[in-house]
Structure 1
């Protein structure tokens, strides 16, 4: 997926990029609160408030995530799409998610409805900027998928079967864990902002350990950290 490259701008910040990027990494990679990250940094002698860490994550999280997505290899041509209900301030919202056959998160969208209009918007989002369309899409039996597919992905094979869509359903689990840690999202805007950065960043550091030999996993993870240093413009000590 093509995304405009925007280098992180650290000008005017009191703390160096190494600390800022490390705090953002801790928050999005692990199930931690801002106060947890504050405490972990304090253990290293870095005194910074949780509110400052929150601002760092808001400012740099999406910038880092966009670059991670730009650098990743081309995604697969079998797309699994699924939706779950989020309760935000007593109102139901729908979190739509698309992943490929390897579990790579293609896109995430929070909407207030799951009708045909919402499904069409969801279909268009992961297609934006792509030079190809999927060969197969797999969804549950929600009728909105079929209606949207007939308008936007005509000619693409569509399989609707709940048991075939376990890959998309399982990919919701990390978000559910973070939602619980955050004691639910406070607004649809906050939810969208969080999941847009959380999806690419958390997955970047989880290269399918169960599918790799130990030495391959370590090499892949080392490569991911090298990319992270390039993305965050962190210079390693020689």
Structure 2
């Protein structure tokens, strides 16, 4: 599916600088100041505030473009929720991960009761336009109650040991949370996590299952897709 790259009208910096800064911030657990320093090391002078504005403007657009270019979510979804601190208060991050480690969606909510689980189920089906064959969750009873109401025909497996895939997906969130010294608002957390979950997993293939040449070839393809989505000119091959 072809996608229209975002408009950079009014921006003085080249597209490749903007897209690279946004990619760095959402791919790795970096602060805006650390992205500024990495770019300075490469001879590009850009302030951390400018990086922040670029990420706010283009991060979700890049994530949406990458989501459109990947295959539909797999037939097995792993769902999990984890608490995050926002201004000192406990909120809950709900995350779905398919069997290929793609993240169809994330949602920050105040609670983890039946209503919250039901809201997340409905949001997932609406956003992906599909229904899984199997849903795997931990033993939180909210999942079972919402599952019976929203998707009763879908097989539900509830077992703590089966859900490591979703739990492992939270690790990058924890790293980013530390780098950012916590989230400031629910809206800010939702925007950041939604963009990051659409960008970061796309550049983390199953490295342990690949040979080095295969990994480099796969990453080259994924970088080319990123350049198409962002509108950045392709990079020349290096020896």
Q: Which moved more, 1:21-30 or 1:59-68?
A: 21-30
Note the residue ranges of structure 1 that are not aligned, 5 or more in a row. Answer: none
2:219 maps to 221
For residues 49-93 of structure 1, the C-alpha deviation after alignment (integer angstroms, 9 at most, x for no partner) is 100000000000000000000000122101110000112122110
Q: Please name the residue that 1:167 is paired with.
A: 165
How far residue 237 of structure 1 moved from its aligned partner, in angstroms, is: 6.3
1:87 matched residue in structure 2: 85
Q: TM-score, normalised by structure 2?
A: 0.94
Map Cα deviations across residues 116-136 of structure 1 (whole Å, 9 max, x no partner): 111111111221144431111
Say yes or no: does 1:106 pair with 2:104: yes
TM-score (norm 1): 0.95
Superposed, 1:62-211 pairs within 5 Å as 62-211=60-209
User: In 1, distance between residues paired with 2:22 and 2:170?
Assistant: 21
**For the Cα contact (< 8 Å) 1:83–1:95, is it kept in 2?**
yes
Q: How many residues align?
A: 236
> Does the 8 A contact of 2:3 with 2:229 survive in 1?
no
* C-alpha distance after superposition, 1:152-199 (max 9, x if no partner): 111111111111111111110011111011111111111101000001
- 219-228 or 208-217: bigger deviation: 208-217
Greater CA deviation, 36-45 or 81-90? 36-45
Q: Secondary structure at the match of 1:99?
A: strand
Aligned to 2:27: 29
Structure 2: any 5+ residue segments left out of the alignment? none
Question: C-alpha offsets along residues 197-235 of structure 1, whole Å, 9 cap, x if unaligned?
Answer: 001211111111112122211111000000011011012
CA distance in structure 2 between the aligned counterparts of 1:235 and 1:16, rounded to whole angstroms: 10
Deviation at 1:98, TM superposition (A): 0.5
The alpha-carbon distance between structure 1 residues 88 and 38, as it changes in their structure 2 partners (threshold 3 A), is same
Report if aligned partners of 1:6, 1:63 keep a CA contact under 8 Å in 2: no
Change (3 A) 1:237 1:193: closer
